[in-house]
């Protein structure tokens, strides 16, 4: 049997919910820019990012330069979030925009249903803890 990693349901639920709303924002931004020339649709690979987040291995977004002399200027650049990838378009468009309204809207709706599911799990956990504390079923 595969080893299932043991997570605290409360922190797992919180992380999942945060990522869901984060993805909701990305997809919402895709929809908003469906008519912007040259815009590229973005998305995250949810399972991979969630796994990395739970393992606590978040890639750093700051790139700093090494200074070997006191006269060097400290350079610090914030690079793009490496978790956010680009969607592969299934048909090209003349203005180089890769947003496909149908794909984005269905992903958006799917993501919102899954957000509701995450909310449900979190809600159940909270209720369970509450009844453990108070000693009566809520």
Partner 1 sequence: MSLLATFNIGSSALTAQAMRLNTIASNIANAESVSGPDGRPYRARQVEFNAITSPNSPGAGVAVTKIIESDAPLRMEYRPGHPKANAAGYVEMPNVNPVEEMVNMISASRSYQMNIEAMNVTRQLMLKTLDLGR
Say whether residue 108 binds partner 1 (CB under 8 A).
yes
Contact with partner 1 (CB under 8 A) among 81, 82, 93, 96: 81
Give 59 or 71: the residue with its C-beta nearer to partner 1: 59
Give the list of residues 6+ apart from residue 78 with CB closer than 8 angstroms, or none: 61, 62, 63
- Residues 36 and 95: their CA atoms lie apart, in Å, by 8
- Residues 41 and 7: their CA atoms lie apart, in Å, by 32
Question: Residue 99 class from Cβ within 10 Å (0-12 exposed, 13-18 middle, 19+ buried)?
Answer: buried
Stretch that binds partner 1, among 26-34, 50-58, 67-75, 86-94 (CB under 8 A): 26-34
User: Token pair for residue 86?
Assistant: 């680009």
Say whether residue 15 binds partner 1 (CB under 8 A).
no
Say whether residue 53 binds partner 1 (CB under 8 A).
no
Q: How far is the CB of 19 from partner 1 (least distance, A)?
A: 9
* Residues in the chain, overall count: 138
Measured in degrees and rounded to the nearest 5, phi and psi for residue 82 equal: -70, -10
Say whether residue 67 binds partner 1 (CB under 8 A).
no
Which positions lie near partner 1, rule CB under 8 A?
18, 21-22, 24-37, 39, 42, 61, 78, 81, 84, 101, 105, 108-109, 112, 115-116, 119, 122-123, 126-127, 130
């Amino acid at each position: 049997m595969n080893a299932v990693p043991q997570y605290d349901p409360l922190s797992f639920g919180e992380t999942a919910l945060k990522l869901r709303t984060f993805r909701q924002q990305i997809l919402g931004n895709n929809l908003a820019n469906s008519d912007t020339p040259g815009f590229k649709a973005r998305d995250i690979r949810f399972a991979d990012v969630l796994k990395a987040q739970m393992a606590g291995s978040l890639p750093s977004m700051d790139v700093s330069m090494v200074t070997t002399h006191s006269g060097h200027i400290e350079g610090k650049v914030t690079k793009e979030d490496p978790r956010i990838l680009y969607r592969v378009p299934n048909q090209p468009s003349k203005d180089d925009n890769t947003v496909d309204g149908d794909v984005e809207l269905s992903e958006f709706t799917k993501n919102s249903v899954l957000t509701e599911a995450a909310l449900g799990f979190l809600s159940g956990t909270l209720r369970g803890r509450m009844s453990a504390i108070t000693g009566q079923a809520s």
